[in-house]
Structure 1
């Protein structure tokens, strides 16, 4: 039975550059940012800043997974197609909910409900990846390959889109072809402070 990533050491996961360590590290950062949002109940500005960081990290992280990592899982893990399809469906649900969130004004009750649903889906997605999918990849992949995948994944993540785009396919080559121009668009929006709630965009 493959072991969850949660209870393995960095060395067991292939070292600090391994895709497994990089994935776990970013999952922990996403969880920290979600907790920051939930803890700042009376501070709308702080909550919005934390939510923006969650969105940017989640979408660049998922895009790199879908572009670099899941094709390898499908090619090497016996039930890789089923496992990646499950995670891709979770990613699509997150994509759709965040697109709705970004159209609603900050503080709206409907928006808050969607944020909590997104956070729940993100946590479910992390468990599926760390408990099921990535341990299966670990079983069939050597340390050197895990580190190479980590380097490639990190490079793609740094230039990935940072917001939801319903038109982008979940799989290569479509996502990679559309991802480049959308990444530029997203990062310009982020730099100008245009990514976020409807109320902020109107201002």
Structure 2
């Protein structure tokens, strides 16, 4: 995205925003609660660290979204954000996912993957930092925000496809 410009950069960033918002919402509903339940020793500390990272990412992503990809400060603020997202993914791969694999049978892991996909289908497509990172918050506030976000996405797509209207 660093080398992108104009509409291609805007589209790539919009796709990234949607992907991250949907993915993190699903993790907060399905993965993190299960890690806490399945792996008691230190799991609260591990999950809380991931939730803190996700909260910070939502804050930054929301600011970047409001700033817009054409703003001169966008790239400078995006780079540390991208590094933080990669570090977050690494933490999940090394701290959370091995605990799930150690404590849950493969069938349960497959069911969790299905639950993540279902949660993603109902998740907001924009970060909503004020909603928090809890399972309950996502379950209560997520669907109405998702409807609003998806309607806004469709309107944006229509405006881009029909610039004369």
Q: Choose between structure 1 and 2: higher helix proportion.
A: 2
- Cα deviation for residue 114 of structure 1 reads 1.8
**Residue 133 of structure 2 is aligned to residue 167 of structure 1:** no
Unpaired runs of at least 5, structure 2: 158-165
**Residue 18 of structure 2 is aligned to residue 46 of structure 1:** no
* Shift >6 Å, 4+ stretches: none
Count of aligned residue pairs for this structure pair: 156
Q: How far apart in 1 are the matches of 2:73 and 2:38?
A: 42
Query: Which TM-score applies when normalising by structure 1?
Result: 0.73
Q: How far apart in 2 are the matches of 1:177 and 1:192?
A: 25
Query: Which TM-score applies when normalising by structure 2?
Result: 0.89
- Cα deviation for residue 39 of structure 1 reads 3.9
Q: CA RMSD in A?
A: 1.3
Residue 122 of structure 1 aligns with which residue? 85
Q: 1:105 to 1:54 in 2, by over 3 A?
A: closer
Q: How far apart in 2 are the matches of 1:173 and 1:157?
A: 15
- Cα deviation for residue 141 of structure 1 reads 0.8
Residue 152 of structure 1 aligns with which residue? 115
SS at match of 1:157: helix
Unpaired runs of at least 5, structure 1: 1-36, 195-203
Residue 149 of structure 2 aligns with which residue? 186
